[in-house]
Amino acid sequence: MNRAALIVPALAVVSAPAFVAGPARNVVRIFVPVFALALAAGAARAEELGSVSTAFQLLGPNHKVVVEAYDDPKVGGVTCYVSRAKTGGIAGGLGLAEDKAEASIACRQVGPISFTGPLPPQEEVFSERMSVLFKRLRVVRLADARRNALVYLTYSDKLVNGSPQNSVSAVPVERGQKIPVK
């Protein structure tokens, strides 16, 4: 069961703790459901396939490399596999650590390719939080109609400045099937 299935039903019973009073009580009543919905929206997209520990941490989880699968929501039969570093320790265990901006991507045809409709020439298809507030891992799909291929680019960005570190993967589409580009 994913986090979205657990969080959304709980929103109906959100209330501020008894020790929170006055205007702060209203802020808690508004912020908690909004934060929970944001978590639920981002959580339903990736499927963690596994991980390997890379460094022992005495307190909290170990540092690790995580492998996740993302199915393209507009292109059936294509899955992207992303490996990325995940920070452990106490801050990592609490979700407060900022993960490194290093990721690798490999996209593959895993079934017959089908399209839900015309694709824009460039579109963000996945996005995942890598720090509490400002850093995100992004995957962008580029439709290469001339070569009849789908190109996937992964990179990270920050509110102030992103990372030039990136990775790219391409999925060829059979010649008899054209990519519907807007």
Q: What is 96-144 written as a DSSP string?
A: -SPPPS-EEEEEEEEEEEEESSPBPSEEEEEEEESSSSS-EEEEEEEEE
Please tell me the pTM assigned to this model: 0.67
- Residue 72 forms part of a structural domain: yes
- Residue 177 forms part of a structural domain: no
- Residue 37 forms part of a structural domain: yes
Task: Please check whether residues 28 and 88 belong to one and the same domain.
Answer: no
- Residue 182 forms part of a structural domain: no
Task: Please check whether residues 27 and 88 belong to one and the same domain.
Answer: no
Distance, CA of 132 to CA of 95 (rounded, Å): 7
Walk along the chain (182 residues) and give the pLDDT tens digit of each residue: 444 443 333 333 445 555 556 665 554 454 444 444 333 343 336 899 998 887 776 777 677 888 999 999 999 999 999 998 877 766 666 665 666 667 899 999 999 999 999 999 999 999 887 665 567 888 999 999 999 999 999 988 865 566 678 899 999 999 999 999 98
> Which domain, by its residues, includes 24?
3-43
